[in-house]
């Protein structure tokens, strides 16, 4: 098959990413621009969307320059169709449609969560992993079975990254709080916080409240430590149970929270106990990025999927298991 | 560990040993967990499991007999239940048999909820069919509660297992389950309604559903 080049647009939340990837899996460019967050506020969907709209042309140019190619060399356009924040998704979709129309190239809308899994499979040795996907917006335990990525466990309310970031803002630690909490946690002492696992699902909203209240009684380092130990132990526990149930022999960690060293160590220890391999993709594709969108676009296109303009509406709550996975057997 | 018998299984949180007609479930330490948290989870779950296994049987649901509990080694010793895991059994059944089995699972869960027992991990891997009775195991995540919310989450866990693991016949199983559940539990309508509300809170609940 002739090699094709795909430009992928990621815009589900505060990050705008443009990736350029070939069908042989070479990443030619992966440029991410992030909306500057205010110290005391989360992502404002409309402001993030405005940021994306303002910077799309510039980030596309930067990616093309990095790749050393021009727009005419692009054979396929892919974009993140969901799940994510509506206004942000729509900017990515409009940009993708515009490019597709003006270049006369096919268009594919992809599922953001599956993008994380597929770029991980491309860039690690993992072939058929049980995947723990954890970020500011998502927390899922996912495994492939008979033509779908099936969700074995997920959060019942907020995502783990959202829990940590919200806590950090309430504790005046800055934004995004993940790295700061991780650093402070190393100096802290553990005390019990609510631990909420329901079957293979998780709940984080109650722990967030308890952690914020604990700031009145405990040093901030101790709260950071306890929060991290609790929310991560919950993640590892459900991943472990999904591993036992699915009988997979690989565990992969993806998503922005995956950069946390403590979480990596915990999952790695658990995988080792079960004789399973442990994989984490390189840091630049761990969080949201355009390369993962472009690569999934290539996989879908090669399996015969393209979308007409009519079929490129965004899906804010796009489920991982809605997508028919035609590129794996 | 020799006095416990031969190891017959290694689950996510416990090792299982069998000696004659007894099974010992040992909640093992997890290296990844903060030691205090590790101790706490193993202790509370061991206690809960032993207690709920007995309470569930009193409520009319088949469970193994608890013969010993050791809070030092986090071990529950119970009678061995031969038979087949419902998880492995379901695919081999006919449509009618599957429905029948799910009605009976629904009835058992209805009995648990009538007695304010919440299982906490209602998966088909935690149900064993033996001599036409469905035995429920693994109550470690369970509790006693009269809250609609807790019972609703119990149902959600079961529904999601059907979706992730038994997707080929998810709907017929769920229909059977709801039938059995509604026939045995007085407040079933309220709990089923709450299940919908809880599912809607989720991050990925379909927009048009």
Residues A177 and A308 in one domain: no
Q: Coil, helix or strand for A4?
A: coil
Residues A135 and A73 in one domain: no
Report yes or no: B33 and A269 within 8 Å, Cβ to Cβ.
no
Domain-located, residue A107? yes
Distance, in Å, from the CA atom of A45 to the CA atom of A47, rounded to the nearest integer, reads 6
Which residue among B121, B138, B146, B150 is the active-site one? B121
Residues A112 and A222 in one domain: no
**Residue given tokens 């080694």 in the structure block:** B73
Domain-located, residue A111? yes
Task: Show the domain range for A70.
Answer: 5-117+285-322
Domain-located, residue A328? no
Residues A206 and A237 in one domain: yes
pLDDT tens figures, B134-174: 999 999 999 999 999 999 999 999 999 999 999 999 999 99
Residues A174 and A106 in one domain: no
Domain-located, residue A239? yes
Domain-located, residue A327? no
- Please say if B38 is a catalytic residue: no
With cut-offs at 50, 70 and 90, classify the pLDDT of residue B55.
very high
Count how many domains chain A has.
Answer: 2
| B147 closest CA partner among B186, B178, B117 | B117
B166/chain A closest Cα distance in angstroms:
11
Tell me, what's the pLDDT at B202? 74
pLDDT over 90 for what percent of chain A? 93
A62 touches chain B (CB under 8 A): no
Residues A135 and A275 in one domain: yes
Residues A134 and A112 in one domain: no
Report yes or no: A149 and A186 within 8 Å, Cβ to Cβ.
no
Q: Coil, helix or strand for A250?
A: strand
Distances in Å between the alpha carbon of A65 and those of A55, A73, A279, B2? 15, 12, 31, 67
pLDDT tens figures, A21-61: 999 999 999 999 988 877 777 889 999 999 999 999 999 99
Written as six digits, the tokens of A278 are 């442990």
Report yes or no: B79 and B23 within 8 Å, Cβ to Cβ.
yes
- What is residue A25's DSSP assignment? S
Average pLDDT estimate for B12-24: 93
Indicate which CATH number applies to the domain containing A96. 3.30.420.40
Tell me, what's the pLDDT at B204? 66
| B157 closest CA partner among B172, B141, B171 | B141
Mutate to test the interface with A, among B9, B32, B48, B157 (most CBs of A within 10 A): B32
Written as six digits, the tokens of B132 are 């036409």
Written as six digits, the tokens of A133 are 């996907």
Residues 6+ apart with CB under 8 A from A311: A109
Chain A residue numbers touching B10 (CB-CB < 8 A): 244
Distance, in Å, from the CA atom of A225 to the CA atom of A233, rounded to the nearest integer, reads 12
Nearest to B164 among A83, A151, A157 (CB): A151
Distance, in Å, from the CA atom of B97 to the CA atom of B108, rounded to the nearest integer, reads 17
With cut-offs at 50, 70 and 90, classify the pLDDT of residue B12.
confident
Chain A residue numbers touching B140 (CB-CB < 8 A): none
Distance, in Å, from the CA atom of A135 to the CA atom of A161, rounded to the nearest integer, reads 5
**Average pLDDT, rounded, for chain A:** 95
User: Per-residue pLDDT for B203 more than 80?
Assistant: no
Q: Cβ B13–A241 below 8 Å, yes or no?
A: yes
Q: Which ipTM score applies to this complex? A: 0.90
Residues A267 and A297 in one domain: no
Give the residue from chain B lying closest to A198, CA to CA. Answer: B120
Q: How many other C-beta atoms lie within 10 A of the C-beta of residue A321?
A: 20
pLDDT tens figures, A229-272: 999 999 999 999 999 889 999 999 999 999 999 999 999 999 99
Domain-located, residue A24? yes
Chain B residue numbers touching A195 (CB-CB < 8 A): 37, 41
A259/chain B closest Cα distance in angstroms:
17
Q: How many other C-beta atoms lie within 10 A of the C-beta of residue A39?
A: 9
Residues A177 and A273 in one domain: yes
With cut-offs at 50, 70 and 90, classify the pLDDT of residue B209.
very low
- What is residue A136's DSSP assignment? S
Report yes or no: B71 and B114 within 8 Å, Cβ to Cβ.
no
Residue segments in chain A with a per-residue pLDDT below the cut of 50: none
**Average pLDDT, rounded, for chain B:** 93
Residues A186 and A305 in one domain: no
Report yes or no: A293 and A117 within 8 Å, Cβ to Cβ.
no
Residues A28 and A113 in one domain: yes
What distance lies between CA B149 and its chain's CA centroid?
Answer: 17
What distance lies between CA A59 and its chain's CA centroid?
Answer: 20
Domain-located, residue A31? yes
Domain-located, residue A183? yes
A284 touches chain B (CB under 8 A): no
Tell me, what's the pLDDT at A272? 96
Backbone angles phi, psi at A104, to 5 degrees: 70, 35
Written as six digits, the tokens of A264 are 């990596």
Distance, in Å, from the CA atom of B128 to the CA atom of B138, rounded to the nearest integer, reads 11
> Mind listing the domains of chain B with CATH numbers?
2-79 (3.30.200.20), 84-201 (1.10.510.10)
Average pLDDT estimate for B60-81: 96
Residues A66 and A147 in one domain: no
Average pLDDT estimate for B47-57: 97
A318 touches chain B (CB under 8 A): yes
Tell me, what's the pLDDT at A178? 95
pLDDT tens figures, B95-132: 999 999 999 999 999 999 999 999 999 999 999 999 99
β-sheet bridge partners, residue A201: A198
């Amino acid at each position: 098959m002739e090699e094709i080049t795909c430009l992928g647009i990621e815009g589900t939340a505060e990050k705008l990413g443009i990736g350029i990837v070939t069908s042989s899996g070479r990443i030619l460019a992966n440029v991410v621009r992030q909306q500057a967050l205010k110290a005391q506020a989360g992502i404002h969907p409309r402001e993030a969307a405005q940021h994306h709209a303002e910077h799309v042309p510039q980030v596309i140019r930067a990616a093309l320059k990095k790749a050393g190619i021009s727009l005419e060399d692009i054979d396929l356009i892919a974009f993140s169709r969901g799940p994510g924040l509506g206004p942000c998704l729509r900017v990515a979709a409009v940009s993708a449609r515009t490019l597709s129309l003006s270049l006369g190239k096919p268009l594919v809308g992809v599922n953001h969560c599956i993008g994380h899994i597929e770029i991980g499979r491309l860039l690690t040795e993992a072939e058929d992993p049980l995947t723990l996907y954890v970020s500011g917006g998502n927390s899922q335990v996912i495994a492939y079975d008979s033509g779908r990525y099936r969700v074995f466990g997920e959060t019942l309310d907020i995502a783990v990254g959202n829990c940590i970031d919200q806590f950090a803002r309430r504790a005046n630690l800055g934004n995004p709080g993940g790295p700061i909490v991780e650093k402070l946690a190393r100096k802290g002492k553990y005390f019990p916080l609510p631990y909420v696992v329901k079957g293979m699902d998780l709940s984080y909203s109650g722990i967030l409240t308890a952690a914020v209240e604990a700031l009145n009684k405990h040093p901030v380092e101790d709260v950071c430590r306890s929060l991290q130990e609790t929310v991560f132990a919950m993640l590892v526990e459900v991943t472990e149970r999904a591993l036992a149930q699915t009988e997979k022999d690989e565990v992969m960690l993806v998503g922005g929270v995956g950069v946390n060293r403590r979480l990596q160590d915990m999952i790695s220890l658990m995988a080792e106990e079960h004789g399973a391999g442990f994989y984490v993709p390189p840091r630049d594709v761990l969080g949201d990025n355009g390369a993962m969108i472009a690569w999934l676009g290539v996989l879908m296109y090669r399996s015969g999927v393209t979308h007409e303009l009519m079929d490129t509406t965004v899906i804010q709550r796009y489920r991982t298991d809605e997508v028919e996975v035609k590129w794996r057997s | 560990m020799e006095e416990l018998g031969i190891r017959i299984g290694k689950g996510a949180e416990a090792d299982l040993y069998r000696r004659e007609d007894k099974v010992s479930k040992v909640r093992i330490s997890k290296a990844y967990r903060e030691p205090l948290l590790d101790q706490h989870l193993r202790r509370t779950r061991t206690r809960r499991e032993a207690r709920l296994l007995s309470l569930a049987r009193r409520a009319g649901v088949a469970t193994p007999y608890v013969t010993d509990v050791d809070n030092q080694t986090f071990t529950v010793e119970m009678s061995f239940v031969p038979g087949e895991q419902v998880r492995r059994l379901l695919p081999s059944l006919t449509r009618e048999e599957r429905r029948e089995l799910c009605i009976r699972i629904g009835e058992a869960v209805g009995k648990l909820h009538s007695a304010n027992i919440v299982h906490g991990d209602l998966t088909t891997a935690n149900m064993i069919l033996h001599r036409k009775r469905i035995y429920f195991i693994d109550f470690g995540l369970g509790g006693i509660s009269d809250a609609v919310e807790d019972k609703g989450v119990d149902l959600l866990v079961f529904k999601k297992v059907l979706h992730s693991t038994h997707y080929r016949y998810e709907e017929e199983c769920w229909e059977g389950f709801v039938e059995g559940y509604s026939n045995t539990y007085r407040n079933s309508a309220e709990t089923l309604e709450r299940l919908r509300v809880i599912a809607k809170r989720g991050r990925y609940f379909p927009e048009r559903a």
